Amino acid sequence: MINVILPVGISFYTFQALSYSIDVYRKNTTATRDIVQFFAYVSFFPQLVAGPIERSTNLLPQFAKERHFDYAQAADGMRQMLWGFFKKMVIADNCAQTVDAVWDNYSTLNGSCLVVAALLFTFQIYGDFSGYSDIAIGCSRLFGISLKKNFNFPYFSRDIAEFWRRWHISLNTWFRDYLYIPLGGSRVSTPKVIRNTLIIFLVCGFWHGANWTFIAWGAFNALLFIPLLLRKTNRKNLDVVAANAKFFPSCREFFQVAVTFALVVCGWVIFRAPTIGDVGAFFNQMLFSGTLLTNPHEQLRNLHTIHSLYIALIALLIFAEWLARKREHALSLLPKTGILRWGIYLIIVYIIIRYRTSSAQFIYFQF
């Protein structure tokens, strides 16, 4: 085996440079003559190492025009950064400790512990990646630069197609525009539609790394997506769940969200597993060891990883994002009253300082 050291975030800025070259070739945009603007586009530091993957048609015009400091925009950017730090440093990093400990010992643990680990990794990867995106987008707004939204509350999706419209939006739209549509998209024969969908998801899996688990994860999502595409229901759920000023979803929507979330959790198990063999062994231990309904608390406590307060913080994350599911980010809902608003700021800052960890890195730095 040859171990090759690659620059951090190489796939993100490579895709940005590719989209610029392709757009210029297609005459969708004109080539810039300003080398400073071009390199600023390719290496814009907030989103350089983990996205969002930006397009030249959005970013270059913003570099070309004169900008002035906008207090309201900067303040909202700071709020989004604060929420991103909460998701990354509190939710993702604390979940990571339990997830890593369980995966290191999964063959000896109860199935219920493995279920907990699968759920925690689901929130770990979301808090890690969407947290980084919030920090990058918020930081950019301090400079008067608007980046594309990269996550749109994906765990409230009612089917797998809606999930992929809301998860890592910049990557998914990149594959759609530069690979899926040139292959013919969904305007070709049924066998070719299936082929195109498989190619997209397999390439998406391969983009994450040269490991069979990523390929299997891509294939798993393709198998969930293709039936929706063939029935032409893949664009059925375009609006937010529980729309029209409703707070609670209908029973049908709740069931759809629960089923979709369960399928996504299964997919993240495949994504997290070191090898394909570990995928089968993990599911076998979780589902068929006869310990699925046991109390996981004792074993998790012995691993010295989980605290009941972390579950409450995850519940806070879900509740806040449910309230803000029609907005840009959760803290955009803050009240106008200064004392109450600043009180919430201070509480979040305290939680970040009190429950942060120093060991976890960003998952997507490796991609």
* Residues designated catalytic: 208
Long-range contacts formed by 183-190: CB under 8 A, 24+ apart: 186/229, 190/230
- Residue 155's φ and ψ, nearest 5 degrees, are -80, 0
Give the whole-angstrom CA distance, residue 156 versus residue 216: 24
Instruction: Please identify which residue in the block is written with the tokens 């089968």.
Output: 280
Give the whole-angstrom CA distance, residue 320 versus residue 87: 11
Contacts of 48 (CB under 8 A, 6+ apart): 9, 12, 13
Q: Is 168 left (phi over 0), alpha (psi -120 to 50) or beta?
A: left
User: Which tokens hold the place of 174?
Assistant: 């990149």
Identify the CA nearest to 51 among candidates 269, 217, 240, 208: 208
